[in-house]
Amino acid sequence: MIDLETLGTNTDAPIISIGAAWFDIPSRKIGETFYLVLDVAEQMDSRKRFADASTIKWWMSQSDAAKNVFKDGARSSQEVLQLFRDWVMKTSGAGKNSKATRKCFPWGNGSGFDITLMESIFKSYNIECPWLFYNIMDLRTYRRFVGNNKKVEKLGTDHNALDDSISQIKFIFECEDAKDGISE
């Protein structure tokens, strides 16, 4: 599960942070996690990624805990993206130097946002995307057809990319338990 925090909603928006977690539906287990903050100014200056004024205004209205992402010590976007790609390849068992892996099924909260932005920024930085386009999964569609449009219960800090990823995974586990007739 991949979640991003950004400064816009277009595919060329700067990415503030990447949060991701491996998970296994049959065992209902959450595996290794990833969370890093990217250098937004670098993305805007060197890669011509564009912030959106309405998104910046929206960020100003968020909780102090959510806004801590701007204090979390950003690293070079190139470095974070390469570390993320390496993490995906390693945790999928594909190996660091492999091409895109068939073993990764990235989920995002919508078919046209988190994964699309990741693919766009990988391309901006000339880093090979670690997954195959036909393996992409979409939580919003899953929510509609499996979760009966139920809302995802937020755990942790709202708009923290890793906390949001884990909340989304737990939502899937709850839906799968309901389908299987398992209750807590």
Using 50, 70 and 90 to split pLDDT, how confident is the model at 95?
confident
Q: What are 35-87's pLDDT values in tens digits?
A: 999 999 999 999 999 999 999 999 999 999 999 999 878 999 999 999 999 99
Torsions phi, psi for 158 (to 5 deg): -60, 140
Task: Name the residue with higher pLDDT: 181 or 40.
Answer: 40
Q: What are 139-179's pLDDT values in tens digits?
A: 999 999 999 999 999 999 999 999 999 999 999 999 999 98
Residue 138 has pLDDT above 90, yes or no: yes
Residue 137 has pLDDT above 70, yes or no: yes
Transcribe the chain into DSSP letters: -EEEEES-SSTTPPEEEEEEEEEETTTTEEEEEEEEEB-HHHHHHHS-----HHHHHHHHTS-HHHHGGGGS--B-HHHHHHHHHHHHHHHHTS-TT-SSBTT---EESSTTSHHHHHHHHHHHTT---SB-GGG-EEHHHHHHHTSTTPPPPP-SSTT-HHHHHHHHHHHHHHHHHHHHT---
Q: Other C-beta atoms within 10 Å of 159: how many?
A: 21
Instruction: Yes or no: say if 40 and 2 are a contact pair by the CB < 8 Å rule.
Output: no
Residue 8 has pLDDT above 90, yes or no: yes
pTM (2 decimals)?
A: 0.94
Structural domains in the chain plus CATH codes: 2-180 (3.30.420.10)
One-letter identity of residue 178: A
Using 50, 70 and 90 to split pLDDT, how confident is the model at 102?
confident
Q: What are 109-121's pLDDT values in tens digits?
A: 988 999 999 999 9
Residue 96 has pLDDT above 90, yes or no: no
Q: Residue 157: its pLDDT value, please?
A: 94
Residue 184 has pLDDT above 80, yes or no: no
